[in-house]
């Protein structure tokens, strides 16, 4: 007996192929009765809605690509290990490629998907805004890992797994406010950031507003264009700029742990102390912050869980040809020596 | 006209194929007259001794693999970028794979070489001792990057590029001795280390001996089996052990920068200071040591030059089918705040 196709099901149900697809993918835009009817027919005819699984038999390539922005971020190393392990366990091949900050990740991915006949992609690190048109040109399922994004483009199999950057950043600001700080500076991403940087800033602003603390734009410093974003050097440069402004402040939230490390160094070189003169907090939970002197208060991201969930989502999309749900993990506030109670 | 083969040349010269190969590779074990005769015949018949170049036309695969031990060592990230760029520039494909500390890198490489039809391999990071037999089974040219090794196995196309670990380590110890230190401890690799760890220890011992300072085995701490070697945690644990021994010492050489960072943290947690109580120096030149407080004295390895030279050597071996010369680069002693003059 020949294999039943999605076209057969559509014909049997008297609907179009796209409606069958909606039923399979549990799309909200379908009449529930129509959906149930289609799902019954699917069951009856034993149709397996899994083109990818069939593709697997046809092609030799079984490669998953990991595309990493900023490969030298220690943040990603433990995650790459998880991806590698899980991909091998599922007997797929693993392909790692670095993307420069000035490259368009979707363009790179589209080229690579064709060249390597990829089965799926994990984007790790920065992920910019892309048009629906661009996203649709990427014909393989993909997961964006550690970055939250709008997931509403249809006919495009993707999802994201991350922490709730806004909520976690708010939590960190809340903690500093709870320690008595009112004049809290922010060492931010670049001014035009529309990704993690923006979300973390929103969390910071939201915490201040909730406590009736006015936002002082002079206490927000943006990563200069000539600094790599999230780097130690950017933190060092931004903290120097902030101190030169001669504004009052008692605490600093850095957009990442590496930025916090750079900021601490600028404080020391200025002959001041952490936390006696300034409380400084980071974000990410890198091991480096534990070993720094003083140890640095930070939000720890559950990187291995995020990696595991990302790859699980990707395999789900490859096998079921439907979007996997986005997932947001909780971070953990690590209260350490770089922040202190005042007033 | 059919292409001239190495067999044709051997027949024309009245020698064996291996002798022709020796002449091409400028092997010392060949009579100079025979060599000149062979090289003249080669020129006359326009023979191109480059099987790999011809292989390139025959096969679709043009992949170079980078096998990395300890991918989360920030040390390697900048090097991986160089490899990726150079490999792309030469229009080869780039394949990165992580090797666990407990895996045999040659076994992994042999499997991968067949599976991916590799053109060449770069080993980055730890490289253990291997039998000649094992090395000969790896049929593709390879370069060992950042690790010095014995390169005498014949019929096997490989070379290494590194700093002279023994000399650089001696230079660091000399510097501490010049500052007045006599009781200098060493936080070392694992006890059975036969690679970088051993070389750096030899440099340390040689400097002490040259200055008439006896080696005190109680001042040498080895990385415990349950710690990842060269890690911050190993430095932290070893420094705690060293302080518990209650031996006199004024300076510490750590086998790597990350070990130095961990050691500093252990000192601080013990309520002591760097460099007032102990001078501490690292090895590698990671950016982290500049941002640490105090900044850490270290030997900076020219990582990008090592990477460039490694990949150049690999392409040379692929194209010319002869060993490329090993290369040892000079490091740079960065004198910083974590070490001070005493006495």
CATH, residue B149: 3.40.50.2300
The CATH number of residue B14's host domain is: 1.10.260.40
Is the pLDDT reported for residue A46 higher than 80? no
pLDDT at A89: 86
Average pLDDT estimate for A62-78: 80
**B297 DSSP β-pair partners:** B281
Instruction: Give yes or no: residues B297 and B172 share one domain.
Output: yes
In a domain, B250, yes or no: yes
In a domain, A335, yes or no: no
In a domain, B1, yes or no: no
CB pairs under 8 A between A and B: 60
pLDDT at B273: 98
Half-sphere exposure of B331 (CA within 13 A, CB side): 25
B4 and B47 Cβ atoms separated by less than 8 Å: yes
pLDDT at B162: 95
Instruction: Give yes or no: residues B237 and B200 share one domain.
Output: yes
Q: How far apart are CA A157 and CA B158, in angstroms?
A: 45
Q: How far apart are CA A271 and CA B339, in angstroms?
A: 19
Q: Where are the alpha helices (DSSP H) in chain B?
A: 6-13, 17-24, 32-44, 51-58, 74-89, 105-115, 132-137, 165-178, 196-210, 232-244, 257-269, 287-291, 303-320
Q: Which of A72, A77, A268 sits opposite B293 (nearest CB)?
A: A268
Contact partners, residue A299, CB within 8 Å, separation at least 6: A163, A168, A169, A171, A172, A282, A283, A284, A285, A331, A332, A333, A334
Instruction: Give yes or no: residues B192 and B225 share one domain.
Output: yes
Instruction: Give yes or no: residues B186 and B102 share one domain.
Output: no
Provide the 8-state DSSP code for B219: G
**Neighbour-count burial for B286-320, b at 16+ CB within 10 Å, e otherwise:** bbbbbbbbbbbbbbbbebeebbbbbbbbbbbbbeb
Q: What is the DSSP string of B90-133?
A: TT-EEEEEEE-TTS-HHHHHHHHHHHTT-SEEEEES------HH
What does residue A97 show for φ and ψ, rounded to 5 degrees?
-135, 140
Instruction: Give yes or no: residues A169 and A292 share one domain.
Output: yes
**Do A232 and B77 make contact, defined as CB atoms within 8 angstroms?**
no
Least Cα separation, residue B292 to chain A (angstroms): 7
> Which tokens belong to A164?
């709730």
Q: Give the total residue count for chain A.
A: 343
Q: Which residues of B touch A95 (CB under 8 A)?
A: 95
Share of chain A above pLDDT 70, in %: 93
Instruction: Give yes or no: residues A250 and A323 share one domain.
Output: no
In a domain, B34, yes or no: yes
In a domain, B25, yes or no: yes
Chain B residues whose C-beta sits inside 8 Å of any chain A C-beta: 71-72, 74, 77-78, 80-81, 84, 94-98, 232-233, 236, 261-262, 264-265, 268, 287-288, 290-293
Is the pLDDT reported for residue A117 higher than 70? yes
- Domain of B16 in residue numbering reads as 6-49
Instruction: Give yes or no: residues B291 and B259 share one domain.
Output: yes
Q: Which residues of B touch A77 (CB under 8 A)?
A: 71-72
pLDDT at B26: 65
Is the pLDDT reported for residue A207 higher than 90? yes
Cβ count within 10 A of residue A283 = 30
Q: How far apart are CA B212 and CA B146, in angstroms?
A: 31
In this predicted model, which residue has the larger pLDDT, A338 or A34?
A: A338
Q: How far apart are CA B332 and CA B136, in angstroms?
A: 36
Provide the 8-state DSSP code for A1: -
A232 and A260 Cβ atoms separated by less than 8 Å: no
In a domain, B221, yes or no: yes
Instruction: Give yes or no: residues B234 and B254 share one domain.
Output: yes
**Do A268 and B71 make contact, defined as CB atoms within 8 angstroms?**
no
Q: How far apart are CA B133 and CA B154, in angstroms?
A: 11
Taking alpha carbons only, the member of B211, B129, B134 closest to residue B176 is B211
Q: How confident is the model at residue A198 (pLDDT cuts 50, 70, 90)?
A: very high
> pLDDT digit string (tens) for A216-273?
999 999 999 999 888 999 999 999 999 999 999 999 999 999 999 999 999 999 999 9
In a domain, B129, yes or no: yes
Instruction: Give yes or no: residues A145 and A202 share one domain.
Output: no
Average pLDDT estimate for A322-339: 96
Provide the 8-state DSSP code for A28: S
Half-sphere exposure of A160 (CA within 13 A, CB side): 20
pLDDT at A55: 41
Radius of gyration (C-alpha) of chain B in whole angstroms? 24
Instruction: Give yes or no: residues A61 and A82 share one domain.
Output: yes
- Range among A28-37, A42-51, B204-213 rated most confident: B204-213
The C-alpha angle with vertex A312 and arms to A9 and A195, in degrees rounded to 5, equals 105
Instruction: Give yes or no: residues B63 and B99 share one domain.
Output: yes
Average pLDDT estimate for A128-141: 88
CA distances from A92 to A80, A89, A117, B223 (A): 15, 8, 12, 36
pLDDT at B13: 87
pLDDT at A166: 96
In this predicted model, which residue has the larger pLDDT, A15 or B216?
A: B216
Least Cα separation, residue B75 to chain A (angstroms): 9
**Do A77 and B72 make contact, defined as CB atoms within 8 angstroms?**
yes
- Report how far Cα B5 is from the mean position of its chain's Cα atoms: 36
Cβ count within 10 A of residue A244 = 9
Domain count of the fold of chain A: 3
Provide the 8-state DSSP code for B218: G
In a domain, B335, yes or no: no
Share of chain A above pLDDT 90, in %: 58
Instruction: Give yes or no: residues A182 and A276 share one domain.
Output: yes
A220 and A189 Cβ atoms separated by less than 8 Å: no
**What stretches in chain B show pLDDT beneath 50?**
1, 51-59
Average per-residue pLDDT for chain A: 89
Chain A residues whose C-beta sits inside 8 Å of any chain B C-beta: 71-72, 74, 77-78, 80-81, 84, 94-98, 232-233, 236, 261-262, 264-265, 268, 287-288, 290-293
> Which tokens belong to A251?
């605490």
> pLDDT digit string (tens) for B291-313?
999 999 999 999 999 999 999 99
Least Cα separation, residue A267 to chain B (angstroms): 11
Q: Give the total residue count for chain B.
A: 343
**Do B291 and A262 make contact, defined as CB atoms within 8 angstroms?**
yes
pLDDT at B219: 98
Share of chain B above pLDDT 70, in %: 93
Q: How far apart are CA B110 and CA B235, in angstroms?
A: 34
**Do A74 and B78 make contact, defined as CB atoms within 8 angstroms?**
no
pLDDT at B55: 41
> pLDDT digit string (tens) for B264-279?
999 999 999 999 999 9
Q: How far apart are CA A145 and CA B101, in angstroms?
A: 27
């Amino acid at each position: 007996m020949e294999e039943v196709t999605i076209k057969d099901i559509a014909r049997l149900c008297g609907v179009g192929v796209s409606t069958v697809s909606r039923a399979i993918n549990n799309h909200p835009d379908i009449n529930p009765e129509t959906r149930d009817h289609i799902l019954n027919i699917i069951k009856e005819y034993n149709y397996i809605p899994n083109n990818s699984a069939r593709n697997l038999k046809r092609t030799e390539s079984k490669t998953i690509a990991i595309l990493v922005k900023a490969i030298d971020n220690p943040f990603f190393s433990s995650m790459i290990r998880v991806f590698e392990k899980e991909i091998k366990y599922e007997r797929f091949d693993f392909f790692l490629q670095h993307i420069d900050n000035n490259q368009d990740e979707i363009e790179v991915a589209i080229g690579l998907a064709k060249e390597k006949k990829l089965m799926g992609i994990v984007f790790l690190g920065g992920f910019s805004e892309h048009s629906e048109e661009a996203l649709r040109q990427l014909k393989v399922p993909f997961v964006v890992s550690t970055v939250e994004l709008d997931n509403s483009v249809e006919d495009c199999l993707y999802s994201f797994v991350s922490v709730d950057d806004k909520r976690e950043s708010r939590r960190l600001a809340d903690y500093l406010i709870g320690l008595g700080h009112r004049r809290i500076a922010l060492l931010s991403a670049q001014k035009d950031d529309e990704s993690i940087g923006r979300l973390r800033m929103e969390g910071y602003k939201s915490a201040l507003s909730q406590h009736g603390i006015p936002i002082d734009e002079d206490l927000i410093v943006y990563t200069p264009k000539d600094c790599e974003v999230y780097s130690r050097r950017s933190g060092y440069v931004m903290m120097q700029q902030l101190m030169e402004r001669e504004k009052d402040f008692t605490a600093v939230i850095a957009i990442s742990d590496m930025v916090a490390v750079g900021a601490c160094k600028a404080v020391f070189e200025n002959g001041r102390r952490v936390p006696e003169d300034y409380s400084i907090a980071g974000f990410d939970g890198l091991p480096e912050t534990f070993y720094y002197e003083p140890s640095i208060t930070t939000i720890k991201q559950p990187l291995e869980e995020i990696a595991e969930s990302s790859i699980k989502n990707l395999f789900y999309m490859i096998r079921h040809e439907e979007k996997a749900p986005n997932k947001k993990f909780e971070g953990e506030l690590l209260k350490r020596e770089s922040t202190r109670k005042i007033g």
